[in-house]
Structure 1
Amino acid sequence: MKNSLMRRLFAVLLLTASACNPPKYAVYESINKDYTVSVPWGWQVMTDQQDTDFAQATFIGPFDPDFYLGAPSLSVRWYRRFRPHRLSDGRLEMYGGADDFIKQTLKQVYGPEYVLLTLDGKVSYDDAKRTEVIPEITLKNSGLKAKAFTVESATPAPEANKWGISAQAGTGKPFVLRKHAYVVVSFDDGFYVLTYPATERGYPSFLDKFAGLMGSFMPRISGPGGPKIRVPGPRQG
């Protein structure tokens, strides 16, 4: 398989406007022209791609000490089904579809100790069936169905990092209390993943920006180089 990995960092303003009264959002068109989405005005954009099998656009906000690495971020990723993608640390990831992505992510990134929540912070669990529930939502502009959830999980804090850190009661041992939101939109040949990787303290600060991202997400084709798709249209009510 031929891999074409591209990383580009743009420190750009996504929309030109008066400095005294800038807009809240700008319309971003992906470099592959497969979707458009509204993102916070003035945030930096970083892209990453591997052929047409994987693509990612990450939007990085201003400094905020409540976030790991010192800044909030939002991202839109594309994964083609059953196509391996090499991560920056050399490991490979591959998913059979949206449900497989969710299953692997919960197990390998957060498991075994995590709490599954709705986007607004309610525990997503069916007591009668004794099982987790992955909520389904309808995206505002496209009318597409999506799986939407938040994961809360603690992880040890690297010694060199000083942002987004909490201290364990009694011992003072540093850790990061992750609170990561996901929206997964599935198609026949792959799926999009919209993410908001926050900390428990920082999560409320930019949740509205993530809501704007997912509500405005409008795919044109099914991933880079994919077939055209038809969307239901704006959500009613």
Structure 2
Amino acid sequence: MTDTPFTLCGASLTARPSGALWWAEAGILCVADLHLGRSERMARRGGTLLPPYETRATLDRLEAEIAALDPRSVICLGDSFDDQRVPDALDEPVRWQLGTMMSGRRWIWVAGNHDPQAPDIGGTAMEEVARGPLTFRHIALPRAAAGEVSGHYHPKTRVRTRAGAVARPCFVHDSRRLILPAFGTYTGGLNCTSDALQTLFEDDAVCILTGNATTTVPLRRRESA
């Protein structure tokens, strides 16, 4: 597994190919937008049916990161659940898996727009988390102080391969802020050329692509009309 180390406001961070962020000095593992229960929520509301194993697939990947890194704290950056009813609908094996991962470490659920209320499933619910030079929240604030870490946008960027252009989930950061890719399975994404992302970053911003190994490319700027 090839990681990409980088620095944000003096904090030495690592972008993992899985889409997780590792801050070794602080013992913090951070993930964004798990969207647990997405298939259940869409079926409940009569939407497009998704494979029913997406929650377990997401948790298995998170469990692998925890096993590899043994973090002291885990910060979930909001939209951990696809809506407020999902935590009550989780089956016992999923609850057991979550409880095992939470055991012995601090687990923080940051409030998201899909899950603004604290889940009754263990851990600590917070609006945002300040640790050293960094502040963790769900949605980036346009005028946030330097050191902001957030999720919400599910950033992706298009890259060319032998098979043609494909969209890859990515971290996006400059010297002031970082946005994580969605960690959840079947979460979709927003192209980094969108106005919502372009206006948040300085000209030196880069994308760190996830996948089998991380790769860093410049943030592609939207072409002027």
Please state which band the TM-score falls in when normalised by the shorter chain: under 0.3
**Max Rg structure:** 1
Tell me the TM-score normalized by structure 2: 0.28
